[in-house]
Amino acid sequence: MNDQRLDPRQVRRAFARAATTYEQHDVLQREVESRLFDSLDYYEGKPERVLDVGCGTARGTARLKKRWREAQVIALDVSLPMLQRARKHAGWLKPFTRVCADGLALPFPDHSMDVVYSNLLLQWCDTPRELFRECVRVLKPGGFLVASSLGPDTLHELRAAWAAVDAAQPHVGRFLDLHDLGDAALAAGLKDPVLDADHIHMHYADVRTLLADLKGLGATNADVERARGLTGKARFKAMLDAYATRHDDGRIPATWEVVTLHAWGFPADALPLYGGRETRFEVLSRRGPRTPV
């Protein structure tokens, strides 16, 4: 298997194309956003600079600016079309700043951010440790990170339906487990990471509606080993039929495993130690299924 899991060019293309439709399909993103904002209550300071990494159309950034009106709030995304759409959420009197850049190479000085926020970006990074390292680098001593990702149970129904007709190639992206993300956070130098996992169940009229939702979000398969040619009508119909066996009261289910994390930058007088030190992170209990309103 190729060591690289994701095709970054495909990720950028998909989100650029989805910029105009993203907010018509972002129910999950808004639900997870509300959970991340609950975690922000752990930060009791008055931040001067707040960074939203992978902001998309920046609805979350606007909410961060509303929470901390006096702070400089920065919306960062690798997709210029997403940032262009984000402009409509920036207020006239106290707008947030928009920056087009890669989260793996943040264009900010060391120790310049009080809070780093990232909603559902991690699953689009081949190496979450590198993203965490950049977050550690830009966080001020004792700064706060809150982030979310998708776990391996995400879209397991769709994955199983495709596997029933074409097991040779991945048709659904692969996602890191909660423990892998915790290990990456520790290895990057984050302090006291706390992780939680939850399953959100959503229902759709049919499989085509689910696929349209994914495309509208830019959440298409970016696996480097994905099939590059046309799927074929017969095989696609076979997948639809396989998924249809999961009908629940006339609708089809789709599961999203959401992993949330919050952690701290190290104080200036307690830099992280490496090599031989035993480290641990806390895993909160996995909650049962929930359906967003």
Classify 95 in phi/psi space as left (phi over 0), alpha (psi -120 to 50) or beta: beta
In a domain, 90, yes or no: yes
- With cut-offs at 50, 70 and 90, classify the pLDDT of residue 286: very low
Q: Give the H or E element holding residue 257.
A: strand 252-264
In a domain, 161, yes or no: no
Please report, for the domain that includes residue 132, its CATH number: 3.40.50.150
Count of domains for the chain: 1
Classify 48 in phi/psi space as left (phi over 0), alpha (psi -120 to 50) or beta: alpha
**What is the reported pTM?**
0.87
In a domain, 72, yes or no: yes
- Tell me which residue range forms the domain holding 34: 8-156+172-203+257-285
Summarize pLDDT for 94-130 with one digit per residue, the tens. 899 999 999 999 999 999 999 999 999 999 988 899 9
Averaged pLDDT, 179-206: 95
75-95 b/e (C-beta count within 10 Å ≥ 16 → b) = bbbbbebbbebbeebbeeeee
CA distances from 190 to 206, 246, 256, 265 (A): 42, 41, 26, 6
Averaged pLDDT, 215-220: 87
Of 113, 135, 262, 243, the residue nearest 188 (C-alpha): 135
In a domain, 240, yes or no: no
Higher pLDDT, 9 or 156: 156
Bridge pairing between strands 191-204 and 252-264: antiparallel
In a domain, 225, yes or no: no
